[in-house]
Amino acid sequence: MQKMIVFLVIFLSIALSNLQTVSADIGPKASAEVHIIGVEGDYYFELLILYRGQVSNEVPDYFDDILRYEYYRESYPERLVSYQDDEGFAACTLYYGPPCYYRQLDEHRYKMTYFSAPRVFKVAIVTEDDVLIVSESIERRMFEARFIFDVRGVDLTEDQFGVGQLTEELPVSQAISGFFLRLILTIGIELGILALFMYRKKASYQLVGLVNLISQTLLSLGVMVGYYFGSMFGAIAIILIGEVLVFSFEIVIYAHRLKEKSLRRAIVYGFIANTVTFITTFLLLALESGFS
């Protein structure tokens, strides 16, 4: 039993230390990455957001400060300064409220990050010939969203509005791989801890494996949904609530069905195993957020 306690203390110390490093910059903001397809030559990129006021014919006084951080290093397209369509959409950079900063990831990829990306927006591009192309509006669903604005087949020699295909990419493969990683790792950890508690019967491993397959599947699905649609904090909330429910469920099952050892050992095992998997899930979430 002393070896198991030492193992738990060492594991938790390492996990919490790494978690603190990865999550030093808390408070993630919603982001929107847009990939432009079908435009040749130079052009300006901008998001248009709903603006209830009247746009100005001149750039604001604080615009010089914006240029220091924007990918607009030297100039801003005049076409967008006073532009506002019939629905009220205007330039995010000028009229969003919080700073609307973009990073140009490569030749045709742009990302608004740090300050939360708007929920509803349009994509606008101004070509080197001063032609304005504007998409239909779209509502962002994911917390870290990726979009494709495809204007292949669109006439780029004259202004066009509500054209092209603006779609949000769903990270299906990433979500599935993350789900199975959390599921397999947490079940493996709980079975490993069961061995450390000196359980040897096949029936004990079958019981713990089945119980965890059910509880960890539900919890991992909840974490996945919370993370992709509600940010890391949404996932943390689900982890905290879900782990309480999972802990209660597993303790009751182990107390009544895990009969190979004493009742006390079964309960202590349930507590330690759930504590370790809780920290593991939290650490995996922090790592996923840090590398996304």
| pLDDT, tens digit, 9 for 90 and up, residues 20-77 | 333 334 456 778 999 999 998 889 999 999 998 888 777 666 566 655 555 555 677 8
Domain assignment of residue 274, yes or no: yes
Average pLDDT of 222-250?
77
Q: Does one domain contain both 61 and 124?
A: yes
Q: Does one domain contain both 58 and 111?
A: yes
Return d(Cα 84, Cα 147) in angstroms, integer: 22
Q: What does the pLDDT read at residue 74?
A: 63
Flag whether the pTM goes above 0.95: no
Domain assignment of residue 152, yes or no: yes
Average pLDDT of 171-185?
82
For residue 18, pLDDT over 50 is answered with no
Residues contacting 195, CB < 8 A, separation 6+: none
Between 144 and 38, where is the model more confident?
Answer: 38
Q: Does one domain contain both 178 and 158?
A: no
**Range in 56-65, 157-166, 189-198 with the lowest mean pLDDT:** 56-65
Final residue of a structural domain among 148, 169, 190: 169
Q: What does the pLDDT read at residue 210?
A: 94
Domain assignment of residue 51, yes or no: yes
8 Å CB contact between 36 and 45 = yes
Q: Does one domain contain both 161 and 183?
A: no
Tell me the pLDDT of the chain averaged across its residues: 81
Q: What does the pLDDT read at residue 264?
A: 93
105 to 111, 112, 209, 211, 261: CA distances (angstroms):
7, 10, 44, 45, 57
Return d(Cα 60, Cα 266) in angstroms, integer: 67
Question: Which residues lie across from 132 on neighbouring strands?
Answer: 126
Q: What does the pLDDT look like over 40-56, one tens digit per residue?
A: 888 999 999 999 888 87
Q: What does the pLDDT read at residue 19?
A: 39
Final residue of a structural domain among 103, 134, 169: 169
Domain assignment of residue 25, yes or no: no
pLDDT tier at 164, thresholds 50, 70, 90: very high
Q: Does one domain contain both 196 and 287?
A: yes
Domain assignment of residue 217, yes or no: yes
For residue 112, pLDDT over 80 is answered with yes
Return d(Cα 13, Cα 88) in angstroms, integer: 53
Domain assignment of residue 270, yes or no: yes
Q: Does one domain contain both 212 and 130?
A: no
Final residue of a structural domain among 169, 204, 236: 169
Q: Does one domain contain both 146 and 47?
A: yes
For residue 232, pLDDT over 70 is answered with no
Q: What does the pLDDT read at residue 2?
A: 47
**Torsion over CA of 231, 233, 236 and 242, rounded to 10 degrees?**
-80
Average pLDDT of 214-242?
77
Domain assignment of residue 12, yes or no: no
For residue 233, pLDDT over 70 is answered with no
Q: Does one domain contain both 214 and 230?
A: yes
Q: Does one domain contain both 43 and 157?
A: yes
Return d(Cα 136, Cα 133) in angstroms, integer: 10
Distance between alpha carbon 235 and the CA centroid of its chain, in Å?
9
For residue 7, pLDDT over 60 is answered with no
Domain membership of residue 215 as a residue range = 172-291
Domain assignment of residue 7, yes or no: no
Q: Does one domain contain both 164 and 180?
A: no
Portion of the chain with pLDDT greater than 90, in percent: 41
**Range in 35-39, 144-148, 172-176, 269-273 with the lowest mean pLDDT:** 172-176
| H-run or E-run covering 2 | helix 2-22
Average pLDDT of 226-251?
77
Q: Does one domain contain both 36 and 130?
A: yes
For residue 104, pLDDT over 90 is answered with no
Q: Does one domain contain both 143 and 180?
A: no
Six-digit token pair at 230? 């509600």
Instruction: Quote the number of domains for the chain.
Output: 2
